[in-house]
């Protein structure tokens, strides 16, 4: 597959890599948040499945993402959260080697998104016999933090124009933008909160004010149910699990399970980053250019990704 440098999408980030990021919640005031927060858009009347993976042949990888979520929750759920840990277990990268876990079985949110991807690859390859998911990017792309590494984008780096997992997939030709009101189960969301923290998650469903699952986006939606790693370090208190995210304008209503309140709704992708993943046959071969000499590798923001949601505190 021909690799096409992603010059235009990342050029601005390259030229300003030595400067401070153009977006940081540390520099955002309450007034700034109010300025970017908007009303949720009016619903468009279409139906999406409550939890059913998308039908075969639709061109999107959602059904394998959801199968990965189910496997990880069943086999590695609630084993503990730790910001310095990566992956709940060592993961073979087909025949090319093993991506080693750091301090397993603990893990954290951006690492959870990478583990979801790697688990989905394994399920997809076993079901279809197509192992191209392991040849599209080398193993090191899931281990390094440079601009040419997918991990460096999943970990969030504004100088790479990567504000979340959705951007990471887009930057590597593996996905596309999908607005919040268009999301389907198995899409990706990175949130920012009014408390100056954030999270990386898999979208599961829209929810209403009582936490009831909605069959599609509609005017009762106040947030969404998601899957990720968060919570406490001790087993049973954190790790792979579900949460109910609620946008800040709706307060912090009672929900059927643990809540994640104070989430900022905005149409700006640097505040609410959303998108979806293509099936492998649609991956384009577009990759980020290495960029100028001296471009810094991603450094995880351990304060921003603190792992604590409302009912973990």
Average pLDDT over residues 82-89: 98
Burial of 39 per CB tally in 10 Å (0-12, 13-18, 19+): exposed
Q: What are phi and psi of 31, to 5 degrees?
A: -65, -40
Q: pTM value?
A: 0.87
CB atoms within 10 A of CB 285: 12
Question: What percentage of the chain exceeds 70 in pLDDT?
Answer: 85
Rounded Cα distance, 45 and 104, in Å: 44
Contacts of 205 (CB under 8 A, 6+ apart): 50, 51, 185, 213, 214, 224, 225
Point out the least confidently predicted range of 8-17, 103-112, 193-202, 219-228.
8-17
Question: Would you state the pLDDT for residue 291?
Answer: 82
Rounded Cα distance, 83 and 231, in Å: 10
Average pLDDT over residues 17-30: 48
Rounded Cα distance, 36 and 32, in Å: 7
Rounded Cα distance, 124 and 118, in Å: 10
What residue has token string 């960029």? 291
Q: To the nearest whole number, what is the mean pLDDT of the chain?
A: 89
Question: Would you state the pLDDT for residue 29?
Answer: 58
Question: Would you state the pLDDT for residue 22?
Answer: 52
Question: Would you state the pLDDT for residue 6?
Answer: 44
Residue 118 pLDDT > 50: yes
Residue 3 pLDDT > 90: no
Average pLDDT over residues 67-89: 98
283's torsion region: left (phi>0), alpha (psi -120 to 50) or beta? beta
Point out the least confidently predicted range of 22-26, 41-45, 57-61, 117-121.
22-26
Question: Would you state the pLDDT for residue 134?
Answer: 98
- Partners of 81 in beta bridges: 107
Question: Would you state the pLDDT for residue 293?
Answer: 79
Rounded Cα distance, 58 and 248, in Å: 34
Question: Would you state the pLDDT for residue 26?
Answer: 54
Question: Would you state the pLDDT for residue 9?
Answer: 39
The dihedral built from the CA positions of residue 163, 169, 172 and 175, taken in this order, carries a sign that is: negative
CA dihedral 81, 276, 166, 68 (to 10 degrees): 20
Average pLDDT over residues 37-58: 62
At residue 229 the predicted structure's pLDDT band, cuts being 50, 70 and 90, is very high
Question: Would you state the pLDDT for residue 31?
Answer: 62
């Amino acid at each position: 597959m021909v690799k096409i440098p992603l010059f235009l999408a990342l050029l601005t980030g390259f030229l300003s890599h030595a400067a401070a990021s153009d977006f940081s919640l540390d520099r955002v005031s309450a007034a700034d948040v109010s300025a970017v927060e908007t009303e949720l858009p009016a619903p468009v009347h279409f139906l999406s499945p409550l939890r059913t993976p998308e039908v075969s042949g639709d061109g999107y990888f959602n059904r394998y993402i959801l199968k990965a979520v189910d496997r990880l929750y069943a086999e590695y759920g609630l084993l503990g959260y730790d910001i310095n840990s990566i992956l709940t277990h060592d993961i073979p990268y087909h025949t090319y080697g093993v991506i080693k876990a750091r301090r397993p079985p603990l893990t954290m949110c951006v690492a959870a998104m990478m583990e979801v991807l790697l688990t989905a690859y394994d399920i997809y390859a076993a079901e279809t016999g197509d192992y191209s998911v392991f040849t599209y990017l080398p193993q090191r792309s899931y281990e390094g933090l440079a601009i040419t590494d997918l991990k460096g984008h999943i970990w969030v780096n504004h100088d790479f124009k990567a504000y979340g997992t959705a951007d990471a997939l887009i930057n590597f030709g593996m996905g596309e933008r999908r607005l919040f009101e268009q999301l389907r189960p198995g899409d990706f969301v990175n949130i920012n909160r009014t408390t100056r923290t954030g999270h990386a998650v898999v979208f599961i469903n829209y929810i209403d004010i009582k936490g009831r699952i909605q069959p599609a986006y509609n005017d009762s939606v106040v947030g969404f149910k998601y899957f990720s790693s968060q919570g406490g370090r001790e087993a049973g208190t954190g790790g792979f699990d579900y949460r109910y995210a609620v946008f800040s304008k709706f307060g912090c209503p009672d929900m059927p399970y643990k809540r994640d309140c104070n989430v900022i709704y905005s149409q700006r992708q640097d505040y609410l980053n959303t998108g979806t993943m293509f099936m492998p046959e649609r991956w384009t071969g577009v990759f980020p250019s290495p960029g100028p000499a001296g471009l810094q590798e991603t450094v995880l923001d351990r304060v921003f990704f603190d792992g604590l949601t409302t009912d973990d505190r």
